[in-house]
Amino acid sequence: MEDSLQPERAILEKYYERGYRLWHGLYLAALADPLDVTALDFQNAFPRYPYFVPELHLDKSSGAGLHAWGTSTWKPSSGDCSLPSFEKRYQFPVTQQDPLVVSLKINHHRLRKEGGQISLLMLAWAYVLSQRWSELMPGAQAIEYTNNSATLSDGGGGFKKTDSRVIDLGVITDEALRWWAAVLAPGEGWAARIHHNGQDLRSPWSVSLQTAKNLILTFRITRSRGGRTSPPPYSAAAQYIADYAKYHGIEEQSRVAFAAALLLPARRSVSKKLCWSCPVWYKKPPDPSAEQYWPPWGKERDQLDRLITMSCNTNGVISLLCSSFVDSDLPCNVSGAWIQGAFAVMDQPEAQEPDVLSSILSKRSPHLGFLWLGAILLDLQDLVIARVRPVLYIIDLHSAAWTGTLMSFIQRPAADYPPNVEMIQRVDEARLMFLSQTEFQCEPPFVPFPPFGTIAVKDCFLEVQSHASCSGSHELLYAGWKWDGHGDVQDAQDAKTRLLESSEATGHAVASMAVRYDKLDCDSCRLSAFTREIFRWLREMDGWPVAERDIRDWMDKKWMGGLDWSLEYESASPEGDGKSTTSRRHVSPWLSRTITTRSRTI
């Protein structure tokens, strides 16, 4: 039975096959239709995402970094229902202690070999993001050049065209030349800082370049446009990048590099070092394009600020990437088989090629395409996969609401039941518990997959009993956001209440194909961490109804290592009174881990 704690092999094979067919279909689609980087839509991405404003109040309580805080408002119902709105606090890290060390080495991955200029362009876009950050962050110092500089050679200097150290800038102004010399300098060529607690904190996109030999910039100087010696504003730097990309005919690589630059803070949260491919010399630049240039974010500065804010939110970015491996219709007890089927395809060497992998995941989650491209370029996909396999998903409903992403069953509406209903789906019990913001269910479960089966209404919390068949509609509604500002004045953004419209990951399931079952591990599926975690969320703090004693005993036997679930902790009250079956003083360490791990999510 599909509602069993330990489903039969035939049931597990069914869901394994479902995952295998879906992801194999995505793989075939990726081979037939590779990712078109010109279709990456930075300009219209995530219009509901809040963005930093100059009036931000930065939290300086942490010695390790600064944070921007805000408050979101949520409505749990509509129509004739008494459930009140609730607010959640949320923070964005806006600094880092050290720059990300970027080393340039030969790399033979196909995507990177054909895009050898991406590494240089990413370094350039990192400056643009940091320059705009310095304009937005209260207390940020004006961006400065350091004493480090790339080697300059007027007119070429007799270097071989095959020398990967040589970068041809073409005809350029002295202001642009000074900027490129800083961007491609060994170590840090520029600095974007905020002084805090006796140290200089850096922008989230700060980088330090390491190469075996310094890069050599060749150029032909033209007349100065104004004699600027200070670092250029972000708009001028973006134009320098556009001129370089146009000169070499690599506008597509520039867009790819911008995607990678947006993922630099996420990469920095994982490792302090990044190895990238050396640049490739283009022997004969193509004829310049006559098309008008716009930066990737388009004409609106607010859109750049929106992407900067999203980029700072490293936890949110990882949660979005994890969402590509979610099917919120899958019950928790069979989701492990589905994931095994998915990775039976994804673990194949052909699917791990960066260009193929980026296409697969972009087809799975089209609106997250540029995030996946940037993540794969920076080798972040292994981090995401390492979280997905052992049920370490990050569920960040703020990021889900702001990007229109479905990452948890909690986001779906609860079913409408007739008056005096006696049994409801356990998934709807979970949704109503969260929407009611009960004491121990005010955060969503780690697990994005719903619990299986049904439960008697009389065995539910009183809050669930009262709303199981009320006349209102129960669904998570995102109602708006306010930044913390100076003088306790909050700057409101996106305050209009609207439904949390979510884009579910898509698929290209193959109808007729041979499915390999050699990667199906039924024992592992039956010892499901997904099932364990969702029932912990439901029951661990307030106890188990007698009707679920078999589930409790299974958890005791399989997971709790002999934890004493003795009958003295069962409820002395009759079933249906909505009271706990466990003393509230028995709070496990899991709760403290939950609070610590999920302090930035709802």
Residue 360 located in a structural domain: no
Residue 587 has pLDDT above 80, yes or no: no
Residue 492 located in a structural domain: no
Residues 83 and 213 reside in one and the same domain: no
Q: Which of the residue ranges 49-63, 243-257, 340-354, 496-510 would you say has the lowest mean pLDDT?
A: 496-510
Percent residues over pLDDT 90 in the chain: 64
Q: What is the dihedral of CA 458, 463, 469, 473, to 10 degrees?
A: -150
Domain count along the chain: 2
Residues 417 and 565 reside in one and the same domain: yes
Residue 143 located in a structural domain: yes
Residue 595 has pLDDT above 50, yes or no: no
Contact 419, 430 (CB under 8 A): no
Residues 124 and 178 reside in one and the same domain: yes
Closest alpha carbon to 18 in 329, 341, 449, 330? 341
Distances (CA, A) of 207 to 102, 297, 378, 407, 503: 7, 22, 13, 32, 34
Q: Which of the residue ranges 73-87, 334-348, 358-372, 572-586 would you say has the lowest mean pLDDT?
A: 572-586
Residues 256 and 282 reside in one and the same domain: yes
Contact 256, 245 (CB under 8 A): no
Residue 148 has pLDDT above 50, yes or no: yes
- Choosing from 276, 296, 316, the residue where a domain stops is 296
Residues 83 and 112 reside in one and the same domain: no
Residue 283 has pLDDT above 70, yes or no: no
Coil, strand or helix at 47: coil
Q: What pLDDT is stored for residue 440 in this prediction?
A: 87
Average model confidence (pLDDT) across the chain: 84
Residue 223 located in a structural domain: yes
Residues 194 and 257 reside in one and the same domain: yes
Kindly state the helix (H) or strand (E) to which residue 258 belongs, with its residue range.
helix 251-262
Closest alpha carbon to 395 in 354, 438, 444, 351? 444
Q: What pLDDT is stored for residue 285 in this prediction?
A: 52
pLDDT category at 165 given cuts 50, 70, 90 is confident
Residue 523 located in a structural domain: no
Residues 203 and 288 reside in one and the same domain: yes
Residues 423 and 290 reside in one and the same domain: no
Residue 60 located in a structural domain: no
Alpha carbon distance 401, 411 (integer Å): 9
Alpha carbon distance 384, 393 (integer Å): 8
Residues 202 and 160 reside in one and the same domain: yes
Kindly state the helix (H) or strand (E) to which residue 476 belongs, with its residue range.
strand 473-483
- Choosing from 296, 324, 344, the residue where a domain stops is 296
Residues 261 and 175 reside in one and the same domain: yes
State the pTM of this model: 0.88
Q: The tokens of 342 are what? A: 């998915």
Alpha carbon distance 595, 602 (integer Å): 11
Range of the domain at 275: 100-296
Q: The tokens of 213 are what? A: 């030999």
Distances (CA, A) of 190 to 104, 205, 307, 327, 357: 18, 11, 22, 44, 34
Residue 414 has pLDDT above 60, yes or no: yes
Residues 83 and 170 reside in one and the same domain: no
DSSP string, 144-194: EE-S---EEEETTTT--TT-TTEEEEEEE-HHHHHHHHHHTSSB-SEE-EE
pLDDT category at 508 given cuts 50, 70, 90 is low
DSSP string, 533-555: HHHHHHHTTT---GGGHHHHHHH
Residue 58 located in a structural domain: no
Residue 388 located in a structural domain: no
- Choosing from 251, 281, 296, the residue where a domain stops is 296
Residues 457 and 600 reside in one and the same domain: yes
**Average pLDDT score over residue span 115-139:** 94
Long-range contacts at 586-591 (CB < 8 A, ≥ 24 apart): 587/541, 588/540, 590/536, 590/540, 591/440, 591/540, 591/541
DSSP string, 325-338: G--TTS-HHHHHHH
**Average pLDDT score over residue span 503-521:** 76
